[in-house]
Amino acid sequence: MNTNVRVKLMTMMFLQFFCWGAWYGQMSKYMFDSLKASGDQVGNAYTAFSIAMIISPFFVGMIADRYFSAQKVLSVLNFIGAIILFFLTKISDPSQFFWYILAYCITFAPTISLTTSISMRHIASPEKDFPSIRVMGTISWIVVTNIIGFMNVGGEVTIFTIAMGAAIVQGLFSWFLPDTPPKVAAEKTSFGQILGADAFLLFKDRSFAIFFISSVLICIPLSFYYAMANPSLTDSGMTNVENKMSLGQASEVIFMLLIPFAFQRFGVKWMLAIGLIAWIIRFACFGYGDAATSEWLLYLAIVLHGVCFDFFFVTGQIYTDNKAGVKIKAQAQGLITLATYGLGMGIGSKLAGIITDIYTVDGVKNWTSIWLVPAGIAAVVLVFFILIFKDNTRTAKA
């Protein structure tokens, strides 16, 4: 692979996740601290991202893939997003904030697919070359959250100012990326294909149907982590929260490397089950950990991110790829993305806000009770999955 192209793609991915990491994990703290938002308003803000994730594939597939070069679309979306972020930083009403973050997410969500699409179009071997490009996103997330932590601005509007700056840089840099013109007419994608209609055939496989349902359900407690972990850790008395939460991304890299070995040792069923068990343990640690007396529980909750995410979601992507035939691999992955990041996390984000309000009395949040809710949901999913899911393939199908 051409070194110049590789460096450009790695830089693009770094900027993409720098922009995302600047605000996503810290948004709840900002809304609670600076906007004095309710739990439901915070949940709604995270739901906005899920709504955008549902819309995004249709935008990319029906418009970006057909009429414009991908790098130009990436540039325009980043510039529009930066403008929206500028006006968002002026908002002090949490109810108005929802509409601004929704507008921004609608411009941001398609860039996630676009950066992947641009990368895939310019590498010879996705299996060999893409991981080294994609890992720059994880590194970037670690970098930006540590910057925010050292600056101690996790609860301030500065997080969106940083994201705005990164969006502008990405918008400018996009014009130096390799040209990625629209796909030829023969490759045009229909509305049904974007929805993943052809992949519905996979539901005839009972094990895949159980996996699909479990994936949607586990995204409900996953949303609690993204929306509430930062303010929960802050209220526990932990300092430099953003810096310490970046250990979760570091563990993600480590456990990603362990997946091939774990696949051979445990098989898909028990890898997925281990991921679910890790979620339960993690939420219990968040609920019962305290910076003054048991900070080690909070650290354990943070570093379990690698097991939770990689062993369930990454293993799930591999499982889906193995189940789908060559013709519907892309549709199958698209269907999983729509169902999990769209439907599952959308429900979870809304529920996280409602549960937080239920267990908030006189402005004080009962985090133990809040975290036991996603722990309970994960436990139900685990029992459902272990009892009904039968496929335990240890090697990829030819």
**Helices 94-121, 126-151: crossing angle, 10 deg rounding:** 150
Task: Note down pLDDT in tens along the chain; length 398 residues.
Answer: 688 999 999 999 999 999 999 999 999 999 999 999 999 999 999 999 999 988 877 666 566 656 788 899 999 999 999 999 999 999 999 999 999 999 999 999 889 878 887 887 888 776 577 778 888 988 999 999 999 999 999 999 999 999 999 999 999 999 999 998 876 554 555 555 555 566 677 888 888 888 889 888 988 998 999 999 999 999 999 999 999 999 998 898 888 778 778 877 888 888 889 989 999 999 999 999 999 999 999 999 999 998 888 887 777 777 777 777 666 666 676 777 778 888 899 999 999 999 999 999 988 999 999 999 999 999 999 999 999 888 766 544 43
Contact between 276 and 222 (Cβ < 8 Å): no
Model pTM?
A: 0.84
